[in-house]
Chain A
């Protein structure tokens, strides 16, 4: 479904992606984690070409991103993207946020698009917010609408770039629940996150990145119980330490 082969990317002199080789199969959930500045956001953004790659090959859903003839808008319509900051359209109501792309890009009749949007809103538990505006919603609610908006295009792949990092702690659970539900429905997902509970429970594989390199790629069990690389061990210790301090 997604195949990285020897992918490199530079921001000026900074080598942000260094020889990335990854393979995500259909229905698989890959969690990407790592310290900040490790290149994990850049990695996920290359998959729908929000960041173009400089070298190597990247094939997403059969479309080769290094080929100039690939219709990038067509690819993006097949790949849902959920941002850290939600990025809902503030001038549109919740329902219009969800129906805009299906109506304008898929040429779906308005009535059908709205029915579909209501099904999705019900799924993320926000049916009663259909006519609200994004500014009237909490962060957790906005992120759930953003997920519904991405799903409205019936994507074959869903990408999540730190979807809970901008949320208050009490709202993280509601967003993770929606994502877990989506994973269980068989969606192919790549998730950049620090939520190790989610990774342990939902991911099929975990990729650990540092300094633009995928240092470790393992099942959640192997990664959390037997991290091989020193950087990964250090990373996990830092994530776990404050929690242990709180609950001795």
Chain B
């Protein structure tokens, strides 16, 4: 028979509860920072991918293929263990004095996810009729400003469902940051388990946190989509 006594009290109060909460806060910070940066970087790479200049296009293409096709864990290790060796001492010293684990994880998550976001946005842009670009250009907008004011706002709206997927993946992928010692949700759950042997309770808590986080992200984006963007659907 089942030889395990459930004890939920250890995760709902006291020291272990505090650990889990601090893990949750770190996960929220890491996900938020990375989602915002990945979105901005994804937009930039998407525009570069469609640029007129061949070298710019090739650079963006290489970037995409490189970061989409290597494991995130390797990228996290690269930024944490590898970039250390090639950066100038001044930057290194500054990084060590700050929260280097967090920075390395955020950089890896941002860059990795931006590659996927860029491809989603690009397919959104390609679905906008080319006459929209012509209308903008004939009004006197440069290519980049036409993108900024006319094409991207329409493309991003179309891209929302795949973007939500990328945001969710990023939030869940942030758990890999524990491998370089970022004290986020999964790391703290693991800590609680090691101290109490209450693995079931600790990881149930982590599971619930990720689940709620994902649902909140989906709801936020959908609300934004309905309230702000879908007021005026294209015909």
Contacts and interface: CB of A to CB of B under 8 A. Distances in A.
Interface of A: 48, 50, 73-74, 76-79, 81, 83, 85, 87-93, 100-101, 104-105, 133-135, 149-150, 153
B68 interface: no
A77 to B, nearest CB: 3
Nearest to B133: A87
Contacts of A92: 232
A153 B232 contact: no
B137 A91 contact: no
14 contacts: A48-B138, A73-B142, A76-B137, A76-B140, A85-B131, A87-B131, A87-B132, A89-B154, A90-B235, A91-B154, A105-B140, A135-B233, A149-B139, A150-B139
Contacts of B231: 133
A73 B141 CA distance: 6
Contacts of B142: 73
Interface residues of B, number: 23
Given A91-B153, A91-B157, A104-B145, A133 B134 contact: no
Contacts of B134: 50, 83, 87
Contacts of A81: 135, 138-139
B171 to A, nearest CB: 28
B139 A153 contact: yes
Contact of A83 (B135, B149, B150): B135
Contacts of B149: 100, 104
Contacts of A50: 134, 137-138
Contacts of A90: 154, 232-235
Chain B interface SS verdict (over half): helix
Interface string B40-70: 0000000000000000000000000000000
**Which 7 residue pairs of A and B lie closest in terms of their CB atoms, listed nearest first?**
A77-B140, A133-B232, A90-B234, A87-B135, A81-B138, A135-B235, A101-B139
Interface of B: 131-132, 134-142, 145, 149-150, 153-154, 157, 229, 231-235
A33 B13 CA distance: 82
B153 A101 contact: no
A76 to B, nearest CB: 4
Nearest to B132: A87
Contact of A135 (B136, B145, B232): B232
Nearest to B134: A50
Contacts of A78: 140
B138 A76 contact: yes
A214 B231 CA distance: 47
Contacts of B154: 89-91
The winner among B136, B138, B142, B150 for most chain A CB atoms within 10 A is: B138
A93 B136 CA distance: 15
Nearest to A81: B138
A89 B129 CA distance: 11
A101 B137 CA distance: 10
A101 B232 contact: no
A87 to B, nearest CB: 4
B157 A105 contact: no
B31 to A, nearest CB: 28
Nearest to B233: A135
B131 A83 contact: yes
Contacts of A149: 139
B232 A93 contact: yes
B234 A101 contact: no
The winner among B135, B231, B234 for most chain A CB atoms within 10 A is: B135
A104 B137 contact: no
Given A73-B141, A134-B235, A135-B234, 5 more contacts: A50-B137, A81-B139, A100-B139, A101-B139, A105-B139
Given A90-B232, A90-B235, A135-B232, A104 B141 contact: yes
A90 B235 CA distance: 8
A92 B157 CA distance: 13
Nearest to B235: A135
A42 to B, nearest CB: 13
B151 to A, nearest CB: 10
A73 B235 CA distance: 29
